Amino acid sequence: MARRRQAVTIRHVAADAGVSLQTVSRVINNEPNVRPEMAERVQASIARLGYVPSIAAQRMSGSRSYLIVALNDRERTLADWRSRQGSDWVNQMLLGGMLTCAAHGYRMIVELVDTHSAHIERELSGAIAALQPDGVILTPPHSANPLILDFLEKRQIVFARIGSSAPGPGFALSTDDEGAARDATRHLIDLGHRRIGLIAGSDEYEQSAWRVAGWRAAMAAAGLESADLLAPGDFSFASGTRAAHALLDLASPPTAIIASNDQMALATLDVARERGLAVPDALSLVSFDDTPIVRYTHPPLAAVSQPIADVSARAAQLIIDRTMGRAVDGDPLVIPSTFVPRGSIAPPPPR
């Protein structure tokens, strides 16, 4: 039987280079106060031995853990995964965050925490104590939860709030949902629509109110009424179905509907088909999120595409820069979304 090859450790590198463990650790962590010739000698040993730095080795300096934790809402995330109706929001968040972390020798992991739990502080304490992360990325609705913000601030943990622009601790990052909703509404107005409905998202999310505000602003700027054209939703397919029926049951139904996420947009598309309303000939439809599935519907759905990977990457970079003592701008960061027109929108039918 072949013997298992012994893993190369930081001790092997130190012995091969003829330096201390602390010197190897400083080179691995890109820390200052290492002479160039010494760093070259350590790097040569690393290459020669095929050493891959581990988090344990990186933690030897004692100043950083090289872990960033993303806190996602447990209830909604698990519900989406189990129903196999989840979007690729989590995937995009991981894409941006993990690539940025990897470029700096960090690791990113996801912890699911129930934002409605009466024991949320105990859950957070357990996760933070076990992982000892250098920083935390909060996703909605955690990014607006005062209990979580206060918990992290009191423990002096660097954190970023994705989907939040409210004053408060931590780095705030958003995708200009209000501007995106305004642009989508204006696009429909420019096509000739005057009755444009909006299916709102859950009140737990700051973005839901921003999207409503953007839609209302565009309608008001065009001198259009919107009071009866707002339908409540909670980002679920079922709520989208209820909202679409409510809007289309109006005495003067909308000729276009903007849904605040892809699941509710898909539900609206189903309702339209049930009622014999062709999209876009009889009803134009716009979605938020722009997950892959809306590009393969018939017709493909026009959508607001959000740069989630970019936002996550910037959140991770801000945390890493702050942890490493670099100067960072603490002002709220807005990375704009883009409106992607597709086959689900057209001028309204003649009346």
Q: What is the fold, at CATH topology level, of the domain defined by 10-61?
A: 434 Repressor (Amino-terminal Domain) (1.10.260)
Query: What are the residue ranges of CATH 1.10.260.40 in the chain?
Result: 10-61
pLDDT digits over 83-108, tens only?
776 667 888 999 999 999 988 888 89
User: 178-306 sits in which CATH class?
Assistant: alpha beta
Which residue numbers in the chain have pLDDT < 70? 1-6, 29-32, 53-63, 85-87, 117
Q: What is the pLDDT of residue 1?
A: 43
Residues 6+ apart with CB under 8 A from 326: none
For 111-114, the CB contacts below 8 A with 24+ separation are: 111/69, 111/70, 111/71, 111/72, 112/71, 112/72, 112/73, 112/74, 112/77, 112/78, 113/71, 113/72, 113/73, 113/74, 113/142, 113/148, 114/73, 114/74, 114/75
Q: What is the pLDDT of residue 62?
A: 53
pTM here is 0.79
Query: What are the residue ranges of CATH 3.40.50.2300 in the chain?
Result: 67-175+308-335, 178-306
Q: What is the fold, at CATH topology level, of the domain defined by 67-175+308-335?
A: Rossmann fold (3.40.50)
Q: What is the pLDDT of residue 43?
A: 87
CB-CB contact of 209 with 144 (8 Å) = no
